[in-house]
Chains A and B, each alone.
Chain A
Amino acid sequence: GENVEQHPSTLSVQEGDSAVIKCTYSDSASNYFPWYKQELGKGPQLIIDIRSNVGEKKDQRIAVTLNKTAKHFSLHITETQPEDSAVYFCAASILSGNQFYFGTGTSLTVIP
Chain B
Amino acid sequence: KAGVTQTPRYLIKTRGQQVTLSCSPISGHRSVSWYQQTPGQGLQFLFEYFSETQRNKGNFPGRFSGRQFSNSRSEMNVSTLELGDSALYLCASSRQGGQSNEQFFGPGTRLTVL
A residues apposed to B, CB below 8 Å: 32, 34, 36, 41-46, 49, 51, 89, 93, 95, 97-105
Bound together, the chains give a CA A13 to CA B61 distance in angstroms of 41
Task: Give the residue of A43, A45, A49 whose beta carbon is less than 8 angstroms from that of B108.
Answer: A43
Chain B residue at smallest Cβ distance from A46: B102
Number of A-B contacts (CB under 8 A): 59
Range for the number of chain B residues in contact with chain A = 20 to 34
- The answer to whether B48 touches A99, judged by C-beta atoms less than 8 angstroms apart, is yes
| Closest 3 pairs between A and B when the two form their complex, measured CB to CB | A43-B105, A102-B43, A104-B42
Asked if B103 is at the interface (CB within 8 A of a chain A CB), the reply is: yes
What secondary structure prevails in chain B residues at the interface with A? Answer: strand
Chain B residue at smallest Cβ distance from A99: B56
Task: Give the residue of B4, B55, B102 whose beta carbon is less than 8 angstroms from that of A43.
Answer: B4
- The answer to whether A42 touches B107, judged by C-beta atoms less than 8 angstroms apart, is yes
Chain B residue at smallest Cβ distance from A51: B99
Asked if B68 is at the interface (CB within 8 A of a chain A CB), the reply is: no
- The answer to whether A43 touches B90, judged by C-beta atoms less than 8 angstroms apart, is yes
Chain B residues, Cβ within 8 Å of A102: 35, 42-45
Can you name 18 extra interface pairs (CB under 8 A) apart from A46-B102, A89-B42? A41-B107, A43-B90, A43-B106, A45-B105, A46-B105, A49-B102, A93-B101, A97-B56, A98-B48, A98-B55, A98-B56, A98-B96, A99-B45, A99-B56, A100-B33, A100-B45, A102-B45, A103-B42
Chain A residue at smallest Cβ distance from B44: A102
Chain A residues, Cβ within 8 Å of B99: 51, 95
